[in-house]
Structure 1
Amino acid sequence: MDWDRLAGDWSNMGGKVRQNWGKLTDEDIRQAGGRRDMLLERIRERYGLGPDEAEKQLEDWASSHAGGSPGQAV
Structure 2
Amino acid sequence: MNWDQVQGKWKQLKGKAQEQWGELTNDDLDQVEGNRDQLEGKIQERYGKSKEQARAEVNDFLDRI
| TM-score of Structure 1 vs Structure 2, range by shorter chain | over 0.9
Match of 1:8 in 2: 8
The whole-number CA distance in structure 1 between the counterparts of 2:49 and 2:37 is: 14
Unaligned ranges ≥5, structure 1: 66-74
Residue 35 of structure 1: aligned partner: 35
- Please tell me the root mean square deviation across aligned C-alpha atoms, in Å: 0.9
- What TM-score do the two structures reach when normalised by structure 2? 0.94
In percent, how many aligned pairs have the same letter?
A: 37
Moved over 6 A (4+): none
Higher helix share: 2
Equivalent pairs, count: 65
- Alignment partners' CA distance in 1, 2:9 and 2:41: 20
